[in-house]
């Protein structure tokens, strides 16, 4: 299956470079390019791509705000890219519903892998940004009402959903989870959808963050948020 990609960047050279890299892949085709977040939302609505690859810092509407709108209004996956190793952008992007977060110097292989992962419903975060994600999500914080909500959400999960959440937090893809639990990938997808709804999360990355923040998964368990060949969540 050929995946349709929309590339968004306010810098023409960067935009053209990313588009050229992705078009060189046999299973990817760039169906459009946009120069800012407003155009990205408009073009995503018109073109209905499988994945949007989008810069974070742009005029009119930045990539974080555009991601929030695209995920809510159109439902396609978004991979965010940035030239800055910025923890704040990383967490804002995850909260907005992004399925991946990369640095622009990640290279064509990693960017293409992120697009494929997003299209499958998996997620990928640049290895350079993974440590900050883990450290922030497991940092001790004073108890809040949100902690009670998290524990309530955990209690609502079935045993199998807890198994899947544990696997998500360890960085396993749907195929790997299916192999580990001896079930079909379709069954895994069903469990993922159910646990996302119960935990109030929208993406696998958010679910992995939930697993750490709620204390369900501890640092050092399995692969963690960073997967083997890059952070495959």
Ordered by where they begin, the domains of the chain are 3-120 (3.40.50.2300), 141-213 (1.10.10.10)
CA-angle at 48, arms to 102 and 85, nearest 5°: 10
Sheet-wide strand order for 124-125:
28-34, 3-8, 51-55, 77-82, 100-103, 124-125
Q: What confidence score (pLDDT) does residue 131 get? A: 54
Tell me the mean pLDDT in the region 70-75: 92
Helix (H) or strand (E) holding 38: helix 37-47
Q: What confidence score (pLDDT) does residue 77 get? A: 94
Contact residues for 82 (Cβ-Cβ < 8 A; gap 6+): 55, 56, 57, 63, 89, 101, 102, 103, 104
CA pair distance 122, 205, nearest whole angstrom = 8
Model confidence band, residue 217 (pLDDT cutoffs 50, 70, 90): confident
How many helices (H) does the chain have, and how many strands (E)?
11, 6
Please choose, from the candidates 208, 217, 4, 178, the residue with its C-alpha nearest in 3D space to the C-alpha of residue 101: 208
Query: Would you say 49 and 6 are in contact if contact means Cβ atoms under 8 Å apart?
Result: yes
pTM over 0.75: no
Contact residues for 189 (Cβ-Cβ < 8 A; gap 6+): 121, 174
Model confidence band, residue 227 (pLDDT cutoffs 50, 70, 90): very low
Query: Would you say 231 and 171 are in contact if contact means Cβ atoms under 8 Å apart?
Result: yes
Model confidence band, residue 79 (pLDDT cutoffs 50, 70, 90): very high
* pLDDT at 224 > cutoff 90: no
Contact residues for 138 (Cβ-Cβ < 8 A; gap 6+): 212, 213, 218, 219
């Amino acid at each position: 299956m050929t995946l349709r990609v929309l590339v968004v960047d306010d810098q023409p050279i960067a935009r053209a470079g990313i588009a050229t890299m992705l078009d060189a892949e046999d299973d990817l085709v760039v169906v459009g390019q946009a120069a800012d977040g407003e155009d990205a939302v408009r073009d995503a609505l018109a073109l209905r791509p499988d994945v949007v690859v989008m810069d974070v810092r742009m005029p009119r509407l930045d990539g974080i705000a555009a991601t929030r709108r695209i995920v809510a209004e159109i439902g396609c996956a978004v991979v965010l890219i940035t030239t800055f190793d910025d923890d704040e952008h990383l967490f804002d992007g995850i909260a907005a519903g992004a399925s991946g977060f990369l640095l622009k110097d990640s290279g064509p292989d990693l960017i293409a892998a992120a697009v494929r992962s997003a299209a499958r419903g998996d997620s990928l975060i640049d290895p350079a940004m993974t440590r900050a994600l883990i450290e922030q999500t497991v940092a001790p914080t004073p108890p809040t009402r949100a902690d009670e909500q998290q524990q309530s959400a955990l209690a609502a999960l079935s045993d199998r959903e807890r198994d899947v959440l544990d696997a998500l937090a360890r960085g396993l893809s749907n195929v790997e989870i299916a192999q580990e639990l001896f079930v079909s990938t379709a069954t895994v997808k069903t469990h993922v959808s159910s646990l996302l709804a119960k935990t109030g999360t929208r993406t696998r990355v958010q679910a992995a963050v939930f697993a750490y923040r709620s204390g369900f998964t501890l640092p050092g368990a399995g692969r963690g948020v960073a997967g083997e060949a890059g952070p495959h969540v």
